[in-house]
Amino acid sequence: MKFLKEYKPEQSTWESDLKIIDKIKVIVPLKILLVCNSIVAKLDGEEFSIVTSISKRSSDTITLSDDYYIPKQKVTAGSIDYLPDQYSHSVVIHRHPDNLNNFSRTDNEFINQNFELSLLYTEKEYFVNGVFNLKYEDAIIPVPVSTVIDYGLEEINIDNIEPIIYSTCVDSLAGRNETKGLNDIDDFLYSYEELLGEINELNSRLEFIENELQQYRLTEVVT
């Protein structure tokens, strides 16, 4: 007697347990966002930059510190000129005008390459772009990042909140409109048989009206 053996696929020699990272997740504390928003409110459309540090990191996630420093700088609506200053932060955040969501050539050559992590901020969309500079020997490999704002809140359970969505249904038999909550769905949904009966009744009414109109036209022709 032959027995069937359970098939267990062997691991391919090409497979590995290595994680493939196409973007690094950057968690930005709410305080850093509020600082950027506050600076925007105090300026008149000019660019600016602030610096901060990395507080925690893993292979695919970076968490920023909520401590920051504003470097000495001269700014216009399209440029930042850093002045001599002393700080050792590894992350830079600088502002662009709204809808300019990509780094300029000047950004890449004079700002980004001097920091481990560079984020781009706009007033309208907040943190719209960023690069993490992975150093390899004498080169820098820019890795794209995606940002998430840390609002300091745990996951909020809303199971006790039950939305009521209102919809107006037409009661064709009563000839009136009635607004009810979709939670009371059994009050106004019809069964298949009831809908079929409604349709047949409407068809009968239409046939009656058509016959009446035809009879009226014939009467007019005779007279």
Domain around 215: 166-222
Do residues 63 and 134 both lie within one domain?
yes
Which of 150, 181, 197 finishes a domain? 150
Rounded CA gap, 96 and 92, in Å? 13
Global pTM reads 0.65
Phi and psi, residue 53, nearest 5°: -130, 170
In 3D space, the residue among 139, 96, 134 whose CA is nearest the CA of residue 117 turns out to be 134
Same domain, 180 and 78: no
Domain match, 143 and 199 both: no
Structure tokens at 83: 């002045």
CB atoms within 10 A of CB 55: 13
* The domain boundary residue, chosen from 150, 174, 209: 150
57, two tokens = 């990191």
DSSP 57: E
| Total domains, the chain | 2
Torsions phi, psi for 192 (to 5 deg): -60, -45
Name which of 22, 29, 52 is nearest 145 in CA terms. 22
Q: Is residue 109 part of a domain?
A: yes
Same domain membership, residue 111 and residue 42: yes
Q: Find the CATH number of the domain harbouring 56.
A: 3.40.140.10
Residues 86 and 131 in one domain: yes
Q: Residue 71: CB partners within 8 Å, gap ≥ 6?
A: 49, 50, 51, 82, 83, 85, 87
* pLDDT per residue rounded down to tens, the chain (223 residues): 444 455 555 655 667 677 788 889 999 999 999 999 999 999 999 999 999 999 999 989 999 999 999 999 999 999 999 999 999 999 999 999 999 999 999 999 889 989 999 999 999 999 999 999 988 888 888 999 999 999 988 888 889 998 887 665 555 445 555 555 555 555 555 677 777 888 888 888 888 888 888 777 777 665 6
